[in-house]
Amino acid sequence: MKLRIIKLTPEQLTALLQGKPSPLSGNLPSDLEVLDAKADLFSRQFSLVVRSDSFEDIAENIPIPELAPTTKSETKPAAAPNPTSSVLRFEPKPEPTPPETKPLIPKPTQPPLSRYAAKMENEFSPDQRKLLSFTVKDNCVVVKPVTFLKAEWEDINETVRSLGGRWVKGDIISYWEIPLQ
């Protein structure tokens, strides 16, 4: 499977569509094909599933890896433009950071969010944990299958529902969400 996922912010996608430089343009192969596109407006992110013969072949039971953008240290100087192909470059503007101020009322301390993921992880059997990944996103624990689930899906879904979670079906990736109490 020679697929990768490219994740872009709306600003990066707009710049790419306007022909402005992009941090991805340095490592995009010339035979790149876009197979699927998904917009997640809640997280302000666009996901593109792309294919190329130049990508490293990965097993089908492994989740599709993300194609990481090149950093400035990795970016090579641009060669003379070739009239048959155009390369897009993107120089992001640094966002101003607000001065750090201490709040007048201290916030109550919470245990680290990773502790919630570990608590949820302990609700599953060791065999089920090998098939899942646990992350904390906003105010819920996201449980993603790392491989195709056959008979195990029903048992895992029952455990998630008992914790107050639900199955979220996506175009590219589906997962469970368990709200933090």
First vs last C-alpha separation in the chain: 39
What pLDDT, in 10s, does the model give residues 126-169?
A: 888 888 888 888 888 888 888 888 888 999 999 999 889 999 99
Written as six digits, the tokens of 74 are 């990795």
**Domains of the chain, each with CATH number or no CATH:** 1-74 (no CATH), 113-179 (3.30.1360)
- Extract the tokens encoding 4: 């990768």
26: number of Cβ within 10 Å: 18
Cβ atoms within 10 A of the Cβ of 17, count? 9
Residues 79-116 have pLDDT tens digits of 554 555 555 565 666 666 666 655 565 555 544 556 66
**Phi-psi region at 146: left, alpha or beta (left = phi > 0; alpha = psi -120 to 50):** alpha
